[in-house]
Structure 1
């Protein structure tokens, strides 16, 4: 028997891990999980400066370096919101929505389409500001830019999070409605016993796909809520141990949920 035919039981799906880590966002989230696990450990005082001085200093340094590495990985991230803005303007949906609202008055879909353009533009500015902050923190620019721009970055991120939450809820409602219609149609088809097996399999696949889509949308919602809690601390100046705890736990939850979403895409 050749070596290639010997079955080797791998518990870890290596190909999927490789595909996940090849994406810059995957590396960013992997580092973020470790960074915020350390922050939770430090905040909960499982490792303290008095009792474990050496270990405390080491893991605190690791968290700091991981934070800097993540910022470097995200340099030039402004390309992503730029492409979103380009696609939105090419499709022309915002312009149609504006013309429609001018004739018929405001409606939710139209307002969200217009805000999508605003938020994409804001995302470009926010990412550029984050790049300046990163370059200032690593010494490539004057460090005074950090203090000047950090609050601006936090406020722009807060605006984006609020929009994303509203858009997520709107999308979740639409998916839930479509799923309910599909489930009723499938139940009717099964009860009638007049649909062929191929059509029934197609309908079941469509229902399963919508269920998965709704599940991912809910994961995104909770991730956005964690982002909001994290940014709330910076925007509204929640200081001390409470602020540190909120950001440590919210950051870890957001990292885990983001990683789970990327892991699903890496299938």
Structure 2
């Protein structure tokens, strides 16, 4: 008797167990979210860039009092967000110290990513002091350029690292799928592997979101470097990129609470 041909595996009928998020009380979850510096910062970021989109899209006539109020609100929120970055460069120093490197390339990219972001957050403290009036405004342009360049370099390193992480996740996903296929052909239960596959799929999606966020932030950094001159560097494009970045970051912070 000829052996039966193997049936195709991991098709649409093969269930993949997605990881089930722990259900939390909404108010407790919200309290935990707002207790984080990044949580409040990203809500302010959403508010700021939503206001900028309204202003730059000419949705309101310039004569309306609301327009002037939105301009004042957007400027005030921008200064407030810079205050939230006080001492934030320390997290990049610690992240670099605690990183585990698999290759020389990982070392280089990590230094670029964390070093660039760390310098950005460090310089932003002085930008805030300029905005607050403690440092002479004649230093504003120079500090702004230093901040933007450091931010841009940091995001280049960050995107490169995350693309490498994505490739690793994809490779691990392939291995898990092959393991599941073998288990199914042998009639072995593989619920744990299916759950692991579900977590990998979620992790891959979040990593892709993170790459999009970094690219949006990098676009804003380029706009600051070029003073808004160039294709896709206009106020409306930058505002949309800022809002997109804020929404993705808010989602990531909310899920991690």
Q: Same fold (TM over 0.5)?
A: yes
Residue 39 of structure 1 deviates from its aligned partner by 0.6
Provide the residue aligned with 2:237 in structure 1. 246
- Contact map agreement 1:132 1:145 (CA 8 A) in 2: no
Residue 98 (structure 2) aligned to one of 58, 83, 87: 87
The alignment yields a C-alpha RMSD, in angstroms, of: 1.9
Provide the residue aligned with 1:160 in structure 2. 154
Matches within 5 A, 1:178-217: 178-193=172-187, 195=188, 197=189, 200-217=190-207
TM normalised by structure 1 equals 0.81
Matches within 5 A, 1:105-116: 109-116=103-110
After superposition, give the CA deviation of every residue in 1:193-218 in whole Å (9 maximum; x if it has no partner).
1x2x4xx2211121111111111101
- Contact map agreement 2:113 2:155 (CA 8 A) in 1: no
Name the one with the larger helix percent. 1
- Contact map agreement 2:223 2:238 (CA 8 A) in 1: yes
Return the alpha-carbon distance in structure 2 between the equivalents of residues 150 and 242 of structure 1.
Answer: 16
Task: Sort the Cα spacing of 1:59 and 1:238 in 2 relative to 1 into closer, same or farther, 3 A.
Answer: closer
> Is the partner of 1:46 in helix, strand or coil?
coil
Gaps of 5+ in 1: 1-11, 98-108
Provide the residue aligned with 1:6 in structure 2. none
Return the alpha-carbon distance in structure 2 between the equivalents of residues 155 and 225 of structure 1.
Answer: 14
Residue 62 (structure 2) aligned to one of 28, 49, 54: 49
Provide the residue aligned with 2:226 in structure 1. 236
- Off by >6 Å, runs of 4+ in structure 1: none
Asked if residue 58 in structure 1 is aligned to residue 69 in structure 2, the reply is yes
Residue 237 of structure 1 deviates from its aligned partner by 3.3
Provide the residue aligned with 1:69 in structure 2. 80
Gaps of 5+ in 2: 1-24
Aligned residues: 232
Provide the residue aligned with 2:45 in structure 1. 32
Return the alpha-carbon distance in structure 1 between the equivalents of residues 57 and 203 of structure 2.
Answer: 36
Residue 30 of structure 1 deviates from its aligned partner by 0.6
TM normalised by structure 2 equals 0.84
> Is the partner of 2:234 in helix, strand or coil?
helix
Return the alpha-carbon distance in structure 2 between the equivalents of residues 47 and 132 of structure 1.
Answer: 34
Residue 29 of structure 1 deviates from its aligned partner by 0.2
Deviates more, 1:113-122 or 1:13-22: 113-122
- Contact map agreement 2:90 2:118 (CA 8 A) in 1: yes
Matches within 5 A, 1:112-131: 112-131=106-125
Higher RCO (CA-CA < 8 Å; seq separation 6+)? 2
